[in-house]
Amino acid sequence: MRYSERLRQRIERTGSRLCVGIDPRPGPDGVEAVPEFLRRLVGETAEHAAAFKPNIAYFEAMGLRGLEILDELLDGMPDEVPVILDAKRSDIGETQKYYAKGYFGKWKVDAVTLNPFLGYDSLEPFLDWEGKGVYLLAVTSNAGSADFQQQQLADGRRVFQLVTELGARSGAEQRPTDVGYVVGLTNAAGVLEAMPDAPLLVPGLGAQGGALESLAAAGRTAPDVINVSRGISQGPAGGDGRGFGERAADWAATIREAYENADKAATGAA
């Protein structure tokens, strides 16, 4: 089964497009409290999750023990929930070959985020893995995405559209790895209509303040997922007395409602 098919089935089975971000920050109890925190986070949110997205930076910041914790986490993930490793890796092809072997071969994650700006040959080591997916950074959720990603070229295209052409090239070559894109909600205005109907990983909801309406109303059919990290694992400042599962259920319902309202509006307009 291709990655996009598996993700679509998960979305249909759960009725949720929520991607639960996993960004562990050691608290007063230190690094050794993190595994239990992660066990609770995954266990309580799995039924509401279309996917999980561990961000490798938070584990690397804990040193060797952090990488051991990530290894343990990935080994114990529920089989039914796709895992997207947020690594944003970019290097020459020979080095990328070893990143791909580590992520897809050793850790067996389902998808990984990649920085495409070294060009197509830097992506190729990831494109021949059956059942796997990659998400190329297209328009990220930070303000700096305007510096390069949204700049207009002389022929009228914008830089992020060159990224989507790399995905189209992979498709034309019938590579077994599915190619999707990272598009931040905070910068999605004027971007979504130029994106192909390929899977999107959408950050920017929750703590970053992105709005769902434009994405929900875009009429896309791809298995897009919307990431929430701090809004689930940390919640509002000062705490709200709710568990991880309750917060995940609320975010999943918020996303579902936005899509349902968009469908109703489109049906009414028709």
Which residues participate in catalysis according to the annotation? 88
d(CA 154, CA 83): 38
DSSP assignment letter at 190: T
